């Protein structure tokens, strides 16, 4: 399996549940398309739930950064939820962990959007 994406609304926050591998090719382009689609529909509060992401490579990290920039430039906020140890480690060694607003609890994450 490459990647599966499912978007649901919790109040005015769009929660994107991501499962599988975010790697160069289908995985990273699917994530990019999903985020651009949300921004295009004027969704400005986006929570990426990465709890079921089994694997991410540098291309996947690049897509997270690209999504963050796209949403921020559109005046929105993109936050991350439920990072597993591997994804968290990758974001830490690439110094991106502090760039993203990262949460472990969905309800708290939803409330944190201004």
Partner 1 sequence: MPEHSRSLPETVEQFLDSTLESVDSAEELTVGVAQRAGFDEDDLMKIGLAVRESMVNAVVHGNRYNAHKKVRLSVTSNGSRLTVRIADQGEGFDVENLPDPLAEGNLLRTSGRGIFLIRSFMDEFLIRRLETGGIEVTLVKYPVSK
- Sort 49 into a burial class: Cβ within 10 Å, 0-12 / 13-18 / 19+: buried
- Contacts of partner 1 in 20-39 (CB under 8 A): 23-25
Least Å from the CB of residue 6 to partner 1: 24
16: nearest Cα among 25, 2, 37, 26: 37
Q: Which stretch binds partner 1 (CB under 8 A): 3-11, 42-50, 57-65, 74-82?
A: 57-65
Residue 17 lies near partner 1 (rule: CB under 8 A): no
At 17 the three-state DSSP class reads strand
47: part of which helix (H) or strand (E)?
Answer: strand 45-56
Residue 10 lies near partner 1 (rule: CB under 8 A): no
- Contacts of partner 1 in 77-106 (CB under 8 A): 86, 90, 93-96, 99
Residue 65 lies near partner 1 (rule: CB under 8 A): yes
């Amino acid at each position: 399996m490459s990647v599966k994406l499912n978007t649901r609304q919790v109040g005015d926050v769009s929660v994107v549940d991501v499962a599988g591998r975010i790697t160069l090719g289908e995985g990273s382009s699917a994530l990019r398309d999903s985020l651009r689609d949300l921004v295009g529909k004027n969704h400005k509060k986006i929570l990426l739930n990465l709890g079921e992401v089994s694997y991410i490579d540098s291309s996947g990290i690049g897509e997270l950064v690209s999504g963050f920039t796209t949403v921020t430039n559109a005046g929105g906020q993109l936050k991350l939820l439920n990072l597993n140890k591997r994804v968290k480690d990758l974001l830490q060694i690439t110094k991106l962990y502090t760039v993203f607003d990262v949460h472990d609890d969905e309800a708290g994450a939803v409330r944190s959007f201004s």
